[in-house]
Structures are given as structure tokens and as C-alpha cells.
Amino acid sequence: MTLSDVFKRLRVDPYIAAIVLMVVLASIIPARGVAATAMSGLTYAAIALLFFLYGARLPVETIIQGLTHWRLQLTVFVSTFVLFPILGLGFSHLFQPLLGPSLSVGLLFLCLLPSTVQSSIAFTSIARGNVAAALCSASISNLLGIFISPLLVAVLLSTHGGGISVSSIKDIVLQLLVPFLAGQILRPWLKAFVTKHKFLLSFVDRGSILLVVYTAFSEGVVNGIWTQIDIQSLILLLVANLILLVVVLCITTFVSRRFGFSKEDEIAIVFCGSKKSLASGIPIANVLFPAHLVGLMVLPLMLFHQVQLMACATLARRYAKRPETPHSTAEAGLGAQPASQQPQEP
């Protein structure tokens, strides 16, 4: 029996297991001195490459097409960049006496991030939803998130130890925006290669996140991260994440039905409007927050990522069990994946 078979039997996401392994490794063997400098440089390059590949992969036509379904896109946008931040402010204030300032700010920070790409699309496909709309929503969310998330951090975290300085803006532009625009410019020459080698983006995004997690937690361990948090705080943080996700899922479902969206559109709204991107969040945190705080800041996001995968996988299977109609097949647009397939997206 292979390690992969063991994970499947235990229903453990191998990628989440890898993230946990990086945390354990950083806790036991943290990068120090020259090694820490080398890891920081490697992480910087990996994140820049990740956003370059995002730019090379995302067609301009996708953005244009997505804008035509403005009611759905507006609903997802409001959920991602208005509803979540409002809930984040409330939850961070409510849980701050229990979690402390750093974790409560991290809880707010995760609410300011864009939606996921791969898992939003994959869950929508599993549930037989409007995959084309989900593709547009998730892609646009990540594109806008490059600009909006740092601005929200500047506005909402300016009094919580976060925010944007001139140096932070420079880092965001050079590490995230410039590579993305370069990928867009070079897309006519790279799109065939990127399409043919999809595994490359998957390898880079997962690999870059693992590098960032290890580097961030190494810095945290060196600065005593595990002396600042206990098991009670972890449990409380998990509870906060669960409540937050349930609230957003309920609100997006209610709004979708209240405003008369089709079941297929509802599925796209629910999955795109309820998730937060680990792939975008950790790089943004890496350039916005002091290195010694990044580990604690992204811990709520890492837990939320795992919670959203498990909860949305279950919800997608429930949606998929509804009777199939010709309308639902047409709305899905890009086809549906078997319900047994679970996305593993950061």
C-alpha cells in the first residue's frame, strides 16, 4: 500500500498533510542565519514565478466574458470583498479577548483576501453548477484581489499592527503585479506551453506555498511562535473559522435564492463567494506583515482553508445528487467532474 492509498483511506488531503509537515519541520529544524536568507530569496522567486504563470494562463477573453454576467459577478464580489470584511471585523473584535491581538488580526486578514481559483471551479463542476461563471468569478476575484486586498488591509488593519508602507507597495508591485502583467504580455507565446503543462502551475503554486509556510514558521519559531499560542487558542480559532464559513454559506445561499438565480448560478455563487485563497493570501501576508508575525497571521487562513475544503466537498456532493435536467447540463458549460474527485487547491 502506497502513502497515497493511506491518505485516501484516511480521507486526508495530501497537500494539507504537506503543509502540516512544513509546520512540523519548521518547528523542529527552523531556517536560521544564511539558510533563512537563502530560503527567503527562494520563496520570493517562487511567488514571482507563480504570479507570472497565473498571468500567462488567464485569457483576457475570460475577464470580458465574465463581466457579461454582471449580477452573478457583483454578488460574488460583494460576498468576497464586502460581506467577508464586515464579518471579519465583527469576528476579530468578538474573539480578540480569547485569541489575542495577532490571531484576531489574522482572522480579519483572511476575510480580506480573494476567492480561490481551482477549488471554486472544481467544486462548482462537481456540484453541476455554472462552471463558466465560476471560472470568471474566481479569476476576476484573484485579479482584483492583487489590488483590493492590500487596500483593505491598509484601511482596516492600520490600527492593528498591519497596513501598507511605501516599501510594502513596492514589494507587491515587484513580486505580484509585475510578474502577472509580464505573464499577460507574453501569453500569446506561452499559452500553448502553459495549457500543455498544467502540472507546472500546480507544482509551482503548491511548492511556493510550502516554501512560504516553512519560511514563515521558521521565522516564527525563531521568534517564539509556539510560546505565544496554546491548544485552547487553536481550538477557539477552529471554532471561529467554522462559524464564519457557515454564516457565509448560509448568506450566499439565501441571497442567491432570494434574487432568483438559477440553481447552477447559485452553486457558482456559493462556492466562489465563500472561500479564501491560501495561494494569494500567504504571499500577500509575506509582503505586508513583519516576518516574525507572518506565521501567526496566516495560521487562521491555513485552518480556514482546510475547513472550507472539507465543508464544500460535502456540500458539492449534496448538490450533485439533485436530479439532472437538460438546463443544468447546458448551464454547467464546461462539464462536471465525478463526485468522487476532490480538489486540492491552496
Whole-prediction pTM: 0.69
Here the cell at position 203 is: 507544482
pLDDT number for residue 345 = 45
pLDDT number for residue 78 = 94
* DSSP code per residue over 257-322: HHTT--HHHHHHHHHHHS---HHHHHHHHHHHS-HHHHHHHHHHHHHHHHHHHHHHHHHHHHHHTS
Is 156 inside any structural domain? yes
Is 331 inside any structural domain? no
pLDDT number for residue 112 = 92
Q: Which amino acid is at 271?
A: F
Is 223 inside any structural domain? yes
| Rg of the chain (C-alpha set) | 19
Is 339 inside any structural domain? no
> In this structure, are residues 263 and 329 in contact, taking their beta carbons and an 8 Å threshold?
no
Give dist(CA 172, CA 193) in Å, integer.
Answer: 27
DSSP structural state of residue 144? H
- Of 198, 162, 158, 195, which Cα lies nearest the Cα of 296? 162
Digitized pLDDT (tens) for each residue of the chain, 346 residues in all = 555 565 566 566 676 678 778 888 988 899 888 988 898 889 888 878 877 887 787 777 765 665 677 888 899 999 999 999 999 999 999 998 988 888 888 899 999 998 887 678 778 878 888 877 887 787 778 778 878 888 888 888 754 444 555 555 666 677 777 888 898 899 899 988 888 887 777 788 778 778 877 887 787 778 676 666 778 888 999 999 999 999 999 999 999 999 999 898 999 999 999 989 877 787 778 777 777 777 778 888 888 887 887 788 788 888 888 877 655 544 444 444 443 344 444 4
Q: Which residues of 195-225 are buried (b: 16+ CB within 10 A; e: fewer)?
A: eeeeeebbebbbebbbbbbbbbbbbbbbbeb
Structural domain of 239:
12-320
> In this structure, are residues 145 and 112 in contact, taking their beta carbons and an 8 Å threshold?
no
> In this structure, are residues 126 and 317 in contact, taking their beta carbons and an 8 Å threshold?
yes
Is 341 inside any structural domain? no
Is 71 inside any structural domain? yes
Is 295 inside any structural domain? yes
pLDDT number for residue 329 = 46
Residue 29 is part of a domain; what is its CATH number? 1.20.1530.20
- Report CA-CA distances (Å) from 313 to 13, 91, 306, 307: 12, 25, 11, 10
Is 1 inside any structural domain? no
Number of domains in the chain: 1
